[in-house]
Amino acid sequence: MVSQRIGYIRVSSLDQNPERQLDSITLDKVFTDKTSTKDTKRPQLQAVLNHVRAGDTLFVHSMDRLARNVVDMLRLVREMNERGVSVQFVKENMSFIAGNDDPRSMLMFTMLSAFTQFERSLIKERQREGIALAKAKGVYKGRKPALNSEKLAKPREQAAAGANKAGEGVWDKPRNPLSIHPIRRAGAGAWPGGS
């Protein structure tokens, strides 16, 4: 089996451009997650882990794109190295070659992972402080509500017609089972049989 050069890209939102992350590297296959998450339960990351084979090299733009904390970072790199997969972090110019247990590389990697986690914690702390300050000034608006009167119109009409139970024609497409509760809250008083 021929070894592959695999790319893993993660952007935190749909608005961010993933193209810049590994644009200068020739890759056989690229996996892209468009999600902001602190854990490793990302669909394309799991697909990468299932796809890579011994002899492959995984390219990641930077350490914080692979994992947000030291424990996950070390676990993922070790897991791939144990399977014979090398990992290359482009921004940090660090390679973890399968079968090469260089203690200096692991020390540097652990320290950089810790700094990555620390930086993320500082960003979250500044974000919380900014929100608290904006709330104190009365200018904090928060995120836009997921439901508005326009989105509630059809479920309200259908509920008024007697389809007030989950799954009785209220939804045009498959729904998240948790989404009925925000609709009931948003439509309190106007939802027949709802609370």
CB–CB of 112/130 below 8 Å? Answer: no
Enzyme catalytic residues: 12
Tens digit of each residue's pLDDT (9 = 90 or more) over 114-157: 887 788 788 889 888 988 888 888 888 887 777 777 777 777 77
Average pLDDT for the chain: 78
pLDDT for the residue 182? 59
Query: In this structure, which long-range contacts are made by residues 39-48, counting pairs with CB atoms below 8 Å and at least 24 apart in sequence?
Result: 39/68, 39/72, 40/67, 40/72, 40/76, 42/10, 44/8, 44/10, 45/8, 45/10, 48/6, 48/8
pTM of the predicted structure, to 2 decimals? 0.60
Instruction: Look at the domain 5-115 and name its fold.
Output: Rossmann fold (3.40.50)
Q: What is residue 19's three-state secondary structure?
A: helix
Tens digit of each residue's pLDDT (9 = 90 or more) over 8-49: 998 876 556 667 778 788 899 999 888 777 777 888 999 999
pLDDT for the residue 183? 58
